[in-house]
Structure 1
Amino acid sequence: MDTRVSVHAPHDVVATTGQPVPARPWLVPLAMLALYVIWGSTYLAIRFALESYPPFLLSGIRFLIAGLGLLTVLVVRGAALPTARQWRNAAVTGVLLLGMGNGLVCFAEGSVSSGIAAVAVASMPLFAAVYSGMYGQWPTRRETLGLAVGFIGVLVLNLGSGLSSSRIGAFALIFAASAWAFGSVWSKRQDMPSGPMNTAAQMTCASVALIIFALSLGERMPAHPTARATMALAYLVVFGSIIAFSAYLYVLKTVRPAVATSYAYVNPPVAVLFGVLLAGETVGPFDLAGMAIILVGVGIITLLRAR
């Protein structure tokens, strides 16, 4: 799961702007390709990084470097720092989305394949639809159908070999999706920093919480990390947390929200494909069936809300 503040996945922001005609139309498909490939590949990158780095410390280091780097760039460019209230709200949201969301995904990938982890996280919009009811936005009858279909998919996925072999990993992934969903719904009604400063603040705050939690568990930096693990960490920082996020911001300003958030459907099969081709992961019939059912349920809810 990556730097996103959205009810569509462990990655970003909700579209609130119009769709002006882009000055360079070729950037749109390029940005969409980046979202599909980069965010889909981050699950495998996490697995490679876990070869040397412990899970929560891995997440903490990733967001500390990316968050402080983005924060520094924004301050140098003259962006205003968040207020005290905005820092507080960013800290709460960051812990929910990045701390619990991404941190638990990293933890789960110690026993669950990267492709199956991506599929499980794809159930996040289903939880978001439920949590929205806490604020009076109860799902419609058709959206309830999407919820029912999606949760059936979660049950089917848990019957497959990918999750059934690790109940702790399965619970961690479901809890990660739930935490990301609640944080997304809650943050939409709070005074948050604006634009990229929101992401920078969330990553910075979440990194502090993750590192403290990791150290309390006894996690430590590896004395001799492998080259592949360190390269995977660098990939997560530069591509997963900075480049892909910038591409997403550009897409949000130039295309319809339904198109911008289409990565929610594309990332799981992309992650499965990367896992099979590059890491020799296997996918069983229940895993494939669960992925298909979850994506149908998410699609029903998202398309209805887009209308």
Structure 2
Amino acid sequence: MSKKRRLAYLALLGNTLIWGAAFPIIKPALAFHSPYEFLFLRYAIAAPLILPILVHAKVKFTLPIKKKILPIIALEVIGVPLLLSLVYTALDHTTALSASLIGLTSPLFTIIAGVLFLKERETTKELKGLFIALIGTLILTLSPVFKSALPTGDLVGNSLMFLYNILWALYLILAKKLYSGVPKILVSTISMWIGLFFFGGLVVISGGLPHFFLSLNPTTLIAGGYMGILGSIIALTLYLYGQDKIEASEASLFTYLQAVVAIPTAYLLLHELPSLWQIVGALTICLGVYIGESKFRKKRMFLI
């Protein structure tokens, strides 16, 4: 194995560890802050820190890139508030483990969107795998119903994560052509500053700024620092480095490994264990991914 490939694997493994553990680490902070307050804290840390990385990247603002800046801002203004609000509100209602497992199925919805809107063709084998994996996703989403005749807020959170997967796929379809040829670090910088201004503005307008500062405690600061520094800056840098050095299909396999991190982390930090139906759903998804792996390996999740 070459040094370049070995370093790429290490970078993607580091990214997998950070992003895989994210939801179990964030979950306790939502007991003290609303999702919007936590997102404000996250981006208040991340947005300034990404600027030196952007400068170091020496992005060349060519004419084609300059023409895309305003459309990118417009799409991110819609995408960042909507998508992240869904994710963190879902996490506020369901378990960290459920949110992690359902969120990791987003590549399946990207494939469906490609078929519907981009007229991408799938083989019979790939369609079978997709269908089986979607059944597994539905089992995961509806698992609270199977556990109890009166499902709690878990079903609401799971449904929001399912909706997020659909909207994320539509976002990627819109972004596919627009972001072509645009450095990912530039898009990420724009996204983070939009997140800072939007969620910060929301906290101020709602009158929640005093509560935000009064509610700061070690739990929220650790979670905010984790996502602001590790989740947004370091994991992003590792991801961009790794996927740039090896084939996209290889790099995307690390996305599915995040579940291997999420499950033990959720148990160690939150004492969450997968239910029987979650195990059935996860195994069904694995079977579907295995059957249609040639296609699924090309789809990857890139959630900032």
- Pick which of 143-152 and 278-287 moved more: 143-152
What's the TM-score, normalizing by structure 2?
Answer: 0.82
Alignment-derived partner of residue 104 in structure 1: 86
Shift in Å, 1:291: 1.6
Alignment-derived partner of residue 244 in structure 1: 235
Alignment-derived partner of residue 117 in structure 1: 99
1:206 alignment partner, one of 195, 204, 217: 195
Alignment-derived partner of residue 264 in structure 2: 273
Alignment-derived partner of residue 86 in structure 1: 69
User: Greater helix share, 1 or 2?
Assistant: 2
Alignment-derived partner of residue 18 in structure 1: none
Quick one: structure 1 residues 150 and 226, their matched pair in 2 at CA, closer, same or farther if it must change by over 3 Å?
A: same
Quick one: structure 1 residues 113 and 79, their matched pair in 2 at CA, closer, same or farther if it must change by over 3 Å?
A: same
Quick one: structure 1 residues 299 and 54, their matched pair in 2 at CA, closer, same or farther if it must change by over 3 Å?
A: farther
Deviations 1:156-210 (A, max 9, x none): 1134239943232122111111222211122011156323112111222233334
1:165 alignment partner, one of 128, 142, 152: 152
- Pick which of 61-70 and 267-276 moved more: 61-70
Partners of 2:113 and 2:173 within 8 A in 1: yes
In the TM superposition, what are the counterparts of 1:16-165 in structure 2 within 5 Å? 26-75=6-55, 78-80=58-60, 83=66, 85-93=68-76, 95-96=78-79, 98-132=80-114, 133-161=116-144, 164-165=151-152
Alignment-derived partner of residue 197 in structure 1: 186
2:244 alignment partner, one of 241, 249, 253: 253
Partners of 1:160 and 1:287 within 8 A in 2: yes
Q: Which runs of 5+ in 2 are unaligned?
A: 299-304
Alignment-derived partner of residue 162 in structure 2: 174
Instruction: Point out the structure with max Rg over C-alpha.
Output: 2
User: SS of the residue aligned with 1:136?
Assistant: coil
Alignment-derived partner of residue 10 in structure 1: none
Shift in Å, 1:108: 1.4
Q: Kindly indicate whether residue 221 of structure 2 is the aligned counterpart of residue 230 of structure 1.
A: yes
CA RMSD after TM alignment: 2.8
In 1, Cα distance between equivalents of 2:224 and 2:104: 23
Partners of 1:22 and 1:254 within 8 A in 2: no
Quick one: structure 1 residues 175 and 259, their matched pair in 2 at CA, closer, same or farther if it must change by over 3 Å?
A: same
User: SS of the residue aligned with 2:214?
Assistant: coil
Shift in Å, 1:249: 1.3
Shift in Å, 1:287: 0.8
One-letter code aligned to 1:128: T
Q: Kindly indicate whether residue 166 of structure 2 is the aligned counterpart of residue 183 of structure 1.
A: no
In 2, Cα distance between equivalents of 1:76 and 1:251: 17
One-letter code aligned to 2:99: A
User: SS of the residue aligned with 2:21?
Assistant: helix
Q: Which runs of 5+ in 1 are unaligned?
A: 1-20
User: SS of the residue aligned with 1:287?
Assistant: helix
What's the TM-score, normalizing by structure 1?
Answer: 0.81
One-letter code aligned to 2:284: I
Identity of aligned residues (%): 22
In 2, Cα distance between equivalents of 1:42 and 1:64: 18
- Pick which of 154-163 and 289-298 moved more: 154-163
Alignment-derived partner of residue 17 in structure 1: none
One-letter code aligned to 1:55: P
Shift in Å, 1:23: 5.1
In the TM superposition, what are the counterparts of 1:268-307 in structure 2 within 5 Å? 268-304=259-295
Deviations 1:247-280 (A, max 9, x none): 1111112222222111221112321210012211
User: SS of the residue aligned with 2:126?
Assistant: helix
Aligned length: 286
